[in-house]
Amino acid sequence: MHGDVTVKRQDYLPKLLLAVAALSACSASNGRDGKHENSKGLSKEALDELSQSKGDAQLAFPGAVGYGAHARGGRGGKIMPVTTLGDDGPGSLRACVEAQGPRVCVFRVSGVIRFTKRPPRITNPYLTIAGQTAPGDGITLAHSGGAVGLTPLLIKNTHDIVVRNIRVRADLSGTERGSEDSFTIENSARVILDHVSSSWARDELVNGYADNDWITISNSIFAYGIPKHDKCALLASDPTNAQHFSFVGNICAHNGDRNPDINFPPGSCVEVLNNVFYNAQSEFAEIWESYGGTPVSIAGNVFKAGPNTSPSTVGVVRQSIGSKGPGAIYLNDNLFDGNFVQVTTSAQGISRPSPTCPLTITPLNAQVAYASALARSGTWPRDAIDAQVVSDVRNRTGRIVKAPGIIPAFAIATAYPDSDDDGMDDRWEKANGTNAAAYDPWEDADGNGLNNFDSFIEYLNKERGL
């Protein structure tokens, strides 16, 4: 051990006061998205009520894990085909996102959806975005930079949202760095992001903001944040209530710090399990106390040095700037690979022999988790960017980048036949006892307890080796 590392950080000191001021002056908002902007939507009372329950008894999908695993998504609702890569209009992703009622976005196209206007907000509940239904190389979201260069996938003031197999690549810069995450979950409950990928955000690659609850971020790749704010994951920002939050099976690579940043109120249940954190420059995991002291379980993770990591880099650090009470850290079976400070003395001082909350899963051994994340994480099929990230982690290569790159080209692809517009491949339906001439996504043709559409999605996942 190398003792404590003192890090000067200004991010959290004035942030809560600024947020309160911004929320009380929504009419003066300058259009910043994902942070410090009030809008009509889920009230605090409604969120408090939703937080009393983790959601449906049924899992969001087979294999869903963590506190967000019971998000309902669009199950039982309308299947809405995305038939254009255009920003707006019939058949657009925006039209599906902004529709009301339970719904599932399925994709009849592949390529880049570049928002030429302000990116849509996911504010209406009961939504599933099923990116694995896209043909060929899948779907990548991007904004157009400038004044509309805002977070491309924002989940705000809502509940029961499932997003899978979607990439965000911010290849252009906007005018509001503080509103340029890749993914933001704000003031929402029962949300799961699974097998998503992102790069080149000028703020966090993934961010939790305000009072979220029952959240899972799993099996994803967050890489290449843009300096001087190259951050992987800010799991909570300006919370007032305790939260349930799982960060499981992800890769954070080539980000200076916030790998991840963990700052929750007392009474929260936070778990950081089976992730791979690679090539941090200043810090890997940061446990903060500015909201009263975070209770967190950090188990089965790999912290691996890369070319930007130095002997002064810290694996697990207790950040006591503005502390309002001590945190509590359960550390178990984490692998620290390379020459850097593993756990600071002050972080050891708040370590606990057991989790403060029961873990939602039994963590894999760190070495097994490492192999699993390299084999399975991110959006499938992997594009050249994710493939490079995985290669870098495996071979201890690559560096933090200084500017966005180029979104890889997409091969021409044709959607599977779906004559009854129920989101399922006609050929699969005929082979599995469903009716390819009838709209039957929510029936259970084989009686296995899983509806036809979810069975089809599982088939697609297995086709990709997941």
Whether residue 377 lies inside any domain: the answer is yes
- pLDDT higher than threshold 60 for residue 27: no
State whether 398 and 453 are in the same domain. Answer: no
State whether 429 and 394 are in the same domain. Answer: no
Report CA dihedral (353, 357, 362, 363) to the nearest 10 degrees: -70
State whether 173 and 261 are in the same domain. Answer: yes
129-139 pLDDT, tens digit each: 999 999 999 99
Number of H helices, E strands in the chain: 8, 29
State whether 455 and 380 are in the same domain. Answer: no
Read off the pLDDT of each residue in 372-386 and give the average, rounded to a whole number: 98
Read off the pLDDT of each residue in 43-52 and give the average, rounded to a whole number: 67
Read off the pLDDT of each residue in 73-85 and give the average, rounded to a whole number: 98
State whether 111 and 204 are in the same domain. Answer: yes
State whether 226 and 101 are in the same domain. Answer: yes
- The Cα–Cα gap between 385 and 388 comes to 5
- The Cα–Cα gap between 460 and 58 comes to 20
Whether residue 433 lies inside any domain: the answer is yes
Question: Rg of the Cα trace of the chain?
Answer: 21
Element (H, E) at 144: none
As a whole number of Å, the end-to-end CA separation of the chain is 38
State whether 234 and 367 are in the same domain. Answer: yes
Q: What is the pLDDT of residue 118?
A: 97
Residues 6+ apart with CB under 8 A from 158: 41, 42, 122, 123, 124, 125, 127, 188
Whether residue 290 lies inside any domain: the answer is yes
- pLDDT higher than threshold 50 for residue 430: yes
Sign of CA dihedral 446, 448, 451, 452: negative
Report how many domains make up the chain.
2
* Residue appearing with tokens 């259970």: 444
The CATH code of the domain that includes 277 is 2.160.20.10
Find, among 195, 200, 217, 199, the residue nearest to 208 by Cα: 217
> What is the chain's length?
466
Q: What is the pLDDT of residue 44?
A: 61
140 contacts 407 by C-beta, under 8 angstroms: yes
Range(s) of the domain holding residue 162: 64-405
Q: What is the pLDDT of residue 372?
A: 98
- Alpha-helical segments (H) within 246-365: 345-348
Read off the pLDDT of each residue in 231-239 and give the average, rounded to a whole number: 96
Element (H, E) at 216: strand 213-218
Whether residue 275 lies inside any domain: the answer is yes
- pLDDT higher than threshold 50 for residue 100: yes
Whether residue 93 lies inside any domain: the answer is yes
Q: What is the pLDDT of residue 355?
A: 97
Whether residue 237 lies inside any domain: the answer is yes
Instruction: Using a pLDDT cut of 70, give the percent of the chain over it.
Output: 89
342 contacts 315 by C-beta, under 8 angstroms: yes
The gap from C-alpha 80 to its chain's centroid, in whole angstroms, comes to: 23
218 contacts 194 by C-beta, under 8 angstroms: yes
Whether residue 123 lies inside any domain: the answer is yes
342-370 pLDDT, tens digit each: 999 999 999 999 999 999 999 999 999 99
Which of 46-60, 87-101, 205-219, 375-389 has the least mean pLDDT? 46-60
Which of 19-33, 188-202, 239-253 has the least mean pLDDT? 19-33
143-191 pLDDT, tens digit each: 999 999 999 999 999 999 999 999 999 999 999 888 999 999 999 999 9
- The Cα–Cα gap between 100 and 87 comes to 18
Q: What is the pLDDT of residue 43?
A: 63
Residues 6+ apart with CB under 8 A from 94: 87, 88, 115, 120
Element (H, E) at 194: strand 189-194
State whether 155 and 248 are in the same domain. Answer: yes
The amino acid present at 323, given as its one-letter code, is S
Q: How would residue 256 be classed by pLDDT, with cut points 50, 70 and 90?
A: very high
State whether 392 and 430 are in the same domain. Answer: no
- Alpha-helical segments (H) within 280-423: 345-348, 366-376, 384-395
Whether residue 44 lies inside any domain: the answer is no
Instruction: Using a pLDDT cut of 90, give the percent of the chain over it.
Output: 86
- The Cα–Cα gap between 59 and 106 comes to 20
- CA 72-74-79 angle, to 5 degrees, is 160
State whether 393 and 448 are in the same domain. Answer: no
Q: How would residue 39 be classed by pLDDT, with cut points 50, 70 and 90?
A: very low
